[in-house]
Amino acid sequence: MKNIYHIICVLILTVFFSACKKEAGPGGKNTISGTVVYKNGVTGNNDAAGMATVRIAYGTNESTENFNQTILTDSEGKFKVEGLNKGKYFIKASYSDGNGFAYSNPGYGITIENKKKTIEVNITLE
């Protein structure tokens, strides 16, 4: 009987502590922010990509086509994703200018290891 009680206690503690482990994604105090610019084919300048699409995948810092969250940059090309747990993230951006030209990048893998950190990712699209 004592062994059964011990096994049940170990199982309960294992389930309890594994449920406390936070996965990458919402629920933390970390932030990923930055600015998206595109290499303007007419002027050759790096211009702010206002209303660019920024996609973020939780749980991986490898290239993927499966994303958990999509946001748009502001008129200055700035974006901010707040309230993230520590973990692995993959971020990718795309933009279409007023002339219909599409700009993209291969993406960036990010690993957040601290409990309260802001990581800045500045993205240049071509």
> pLDDT tens for residues 81-95?
999 999 999 999 999
> Using one digit for the tens of pLDDT, what is the confidence trace for 4-16?
655 554 445 444 4
Per-residue b or e along 79-106, where b marks 16 or more CB atoms closer than 10 Å to that residue's CB: bebeebbbbbbbbbbbbeeeeeeebbbe
List the domain range (segments joined by +) for residue 45: 23-125
The domain that contains 108 carries what CATH number? 2.60.40.10
pLDDT at 114: 81
Q: Compute the mean pLDDT over every residue in the chain, rounded to the nearest whole number.
A: 87
Does residue 6 sit within a domain? no
86/26 Cα distance (integer angstroms)? 9
Structural domains in the chain (count):
1
Residue 30 clears pLDDT 80, i.e. is over it? yes
Q: Does the residue 11 lie in any domain?
A: no
Tell me, yes or no, if the pTM score tops 0.85.
Answer: no
Across 37-59, average pLDDT: 95
Q: Is residue 17's pLDDT more than 50?
A: no
46 in a structural domain: yes
- Whether residue 77 lies inside any domain: the answer is yes
Predicted pLDDT at 63: 95
